[in-house]
Amino acid sequence: MTDRLPSALPLAALVAVSAALGLIFLWAPTEAVQGDVQRILYVHVPAAWLAYLAFAVVAVASVLVVASGPERWDRVAASAAEVGVLFTTIVLVTGSIWARPTWGVWWVWDARLTTTLVLWAVYVGYLLFRSLTPPGARRARVAAVIGIIGAIDIPIVHFAVTWWNTAHPEPTVISRAGPQLTSEMLTTLLVSLAAFALVFACLLALRVAQMSARERLDVLEAHV
């Protein structure tokens, strides 16, 4: 993971987000049953997939912290956790907005929603631990353990709708029968996913670069 933000990345993210918004509001058809509220799923679903990716990055970087030392990979793990919490917050908020007109309630305690909330809480706790503990190898290693254990919830969240009877809709993209979307809806979803992926990469690279700069500044201040 580089400690510098590629100059083209923010521009690519901006272009992709603009294209995704245009497709969501101007091109994708209105869903016959749900109506316009279904459009929020073009944000909700990519945010969920990128949250999975963020916490998977935390887990992999945390394994590398334990295996090879804390410095660089600890920055990557912490940065990915922050981005993951952001995306999971988007998932929870957009899901509630979708649920209110669709289910008549903002929230239900079904398996998918509850395990997603647990995932969010674990990594909020991870960040709180880091903020309340002095920097150093001990913090990095304990945080790595939390990051690795927390990732166990990712497959539980993903497969909750197939393992248990839940109110959450069944998968409509990755399913045995193939995508259950029209070509326009699927294209819009994939473009939105690409946009979210670029935003994810941009935020992660920026946060890693900021942490690296902060650490270098702390070293300089210590020698003044």
Q: How many alpha carbons lie under 13 Å from residue 165 in its C-beta half-sphere?
A: 0
More confident residue, 170 or 134: 134
Whether 114 has a pLDDT exceeding 70, the answer reads yes
Secondary-structure percent of the chain, ordered helix, strand, coil, rounded to 5: 75, 0, 20
**pLDDT of amino acid 191:** 95
Task: State the pTM of this model.
Answer: 0.88
Whether 40 has a pLDDT exceeding 70, the answer reads yes
Q: How many residues does the chain have?
A: 224
More confident residue, 7 or 82: 82
Reading the block at residue 107, the tokens are: 């929230």
88 Cβ neighbours under 8 A, 6+ residues apart: 47, 51, 116, 119, 120, 123
**pLDDT of amino acid 200:** 96
Mean pLDDT (the chain) is: 87
Q: How confident is the model at residue 135 (pLDDT cuts 50, 70, 90)?
A: confident
**pLDDT of amino acid 219:** 62
Considering only CA atoms, which of 39, 40, 127 is closest in space to residue 91? 40
Lowest mean pLDDT among 42-56, 71-85, 166-180: 166-180
55 Cβ neighbours under 8 A, 6+ residues apart: 80, 81, 84, 119, 123, 147, 150, 151, 154
Tell me what percent of the residues of the chain surpass a pLDDT of 90: 56
Mean pLDDT across the stretch 154-167?
A: 84
**pLDDT of amino acid 71:** 72
Give me the residue label for tokens 């957009």.
94
Tell me what percent of the residues of the chain surpass a pLDDT of 70: 88
pLDDT digits (tens, 9 = 90+) for 141-150: 999 999 999 9
Give me the residue label for tokens 């353990």.
145
Whether 161 has a pLDDT exceeding 60, the answer reads yes
* Spatial distance between the Cα atoms of 173 and 178, rounded to a whole number of angstroms: 6
Whether 78 has a pLDDT exceeding 80, the answer reads yes
Considering only CA atoms, which of 23, 131, 9 is closest in space to residue 78? 131
Alpha-carbon separation of residue 101 from 48, 77, 152, 193, 224 (angstroms): 20, 37, 32, 24, 59
Whether 163 has a pLDDT exceeding 60, the answer reads yes
Whether 157 has a pLDDT exceeding 70, the answer reads yes
Q: Which long-range contacts (CB under 8 A, 24 or more apart) does 171-177 make?
A: 173/45
